[in-house]
């Protein structure tokens, strides 16, 4: 069986339902990956995470490189042992964190010199180092080192970043030394159709196990993002998974699936959960509001997550207001379950060939 098998497609859009096979199990797509930045999804045990419906999770090479260090992860039995997660894991390359956390980073064609955001230590990272670290961490899917640009970005800088991303991807493929891992590249180019097309074409020539779209969700707006996604996915191999990095809201996900995306990751479910913000089918709830002081109903009536089957809105509001850590834990569990239920619904609609109409109706609710 191929490692990515398309099982059904939507007759009215580019959406598809598929099965991704990895060394640690199969993943039904479209899929959402909870983010475990430093080797843990904040406030959630692996058992709780599995109960939300998560199939695959993401860890961050940049943060693991700084703490505890790749050598320590190896001594502890590898990334799966460190995280206590037996299913598939994807690691990013660290390229985005160099962009977002190190404003004084010095980027050149060979690689990047930057200061640790923890202690200021000077660190050098390049395509070969990023690939070697991910090979050693042992994730099922690893990412090529790339250069992400801010939004907006001047075209000369964008062209330089795209060319570096292509060159670094070629170097990552040459350096990749763990046959048990799949290597995904990253298509950059901001919202410039010409740059996206050029980057995609050059990366397809090299050939990768999967293709990610980076540099989006940075302020360009929903419509610009989806237009860019739609334009780019049409240029990528149909038989390879497509991953939209760092995105996003439920509306972003539904629209991106419609544009041909198979995989997502985002910190929103847990970050918002830690800030008393809950996702529901009828919209968002802010649990600190006085309206919930004596509310006896759950966050989402009918939701089967641990939070909704055991606690009221009023109780959760109380936990947040008195600083009890149970509040953020419960809302994170609910939000992660909400996202996984959204993905399960998307897959079910695709299998039944009912996705297009359902997606139109859902997006009308959000807009």
Q: Which residues contact 239 (CB under 8 A, 6 or more apart)?
A: 2, 4, 6
Q: 187 near 232, Cβ under 8 Å? A: yes
Q: Which residues contact 230 (CB under 8 A, 6 or more apart)?
A: 14, 259, 260
Q: Classify 241 in phi/psi space as left (phi over 0), alpha (psi -120 to 50) or beta.
A: beta
Question: What whole-number distance in Å separates Cα of residue 56 and Cα of residue 34?
Answer: 8
Q: Rounded to whole angstroms, what are the CA distances from 196 to 77, 138, 186, 232, 259?
A: 39, 30, 11, 6, 15
Residues known to be catalytic: 92, 265
* Long-range contacts of the stretch 340-343 (C-beta < 8 A, 24+): 340/32, 340/52, 340/53, 340/54, 341/53, 341/303, 342/32, 342/250, 342/253, 342/254, 343/30, 343/31, 343/32, 343/53, 343/253
């Amino acid at each position: 069986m191929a490692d990515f098998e398309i099982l059904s497609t939507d007759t009215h859009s580019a959406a598809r339902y598929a099965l991704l096979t990895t060394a640690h199990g199969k993943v039904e797509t479209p899929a959402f990956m909870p983010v475990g930045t430093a080797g843990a999804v904040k406030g959630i045990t692996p058992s709780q995470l599995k109960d939300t419906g998560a199939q695959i999770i993401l860890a961050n090479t940049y943060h693991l490189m700084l703490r505890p260090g790749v050598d320590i992860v190896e001594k502890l039995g590898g990334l799966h042992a460190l995280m206590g997660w037996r299913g598939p894991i994807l690691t990013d390359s660290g390229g985005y964190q160099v962009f977002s956390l190190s404003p004084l980073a010095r980027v050149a064609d060979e690689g990047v010199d930057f200061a640790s955001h923890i202690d200021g230590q000077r660190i050098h990272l390049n395509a070969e180092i990023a690939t070697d670290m991910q090979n050693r961490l042992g994730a099922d899917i690893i990412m090529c080192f790339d250069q992400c640009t801010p939004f907006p970005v001047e075209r000369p800088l964008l062209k330089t970043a795209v060319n570096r991303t292509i060159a670094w991807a070629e170097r990552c493929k040459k350096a990749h030394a763990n046959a048990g891992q799949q290597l995904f590249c990253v298509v950059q180019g901001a919202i410039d159709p010409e740059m996206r097309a050029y980057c995609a074409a050059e990366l397809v020539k090299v050939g990768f196990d999967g293709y990610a779209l980076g540099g989006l969700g940075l302020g360009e707006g929903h419509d610009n993002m989806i237009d860019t996604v739609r334009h780019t996915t049409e240029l990528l191999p149909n038989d390879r998974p497509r991953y939209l990095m760092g995105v996003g809201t439920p509306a972003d996900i539904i629209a991106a699936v419609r544009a041909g995306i198979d995989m997502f990751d985002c910190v929103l479910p847990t970050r918002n959960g830690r800030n008393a913000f809950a996702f529901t089918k009828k919209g968002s709830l802010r649990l600190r509001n006085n309206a919930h002081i004596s509310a006896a109903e759950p966050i989402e009536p009918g939701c089967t997550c641990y939070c909704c089957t055991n606690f009221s809105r009023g109780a959760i509001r109380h936990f947040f207001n008195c600083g009890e850590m149970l509040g953020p834990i419960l809302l994170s569990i609910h939000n992660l379950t909400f996202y996984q239920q959204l993905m399960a619904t998307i897959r079910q609609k695709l299998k039944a060939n009912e996705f297009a109409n359902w997606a139109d109706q859902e997006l009308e609710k959000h807009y």
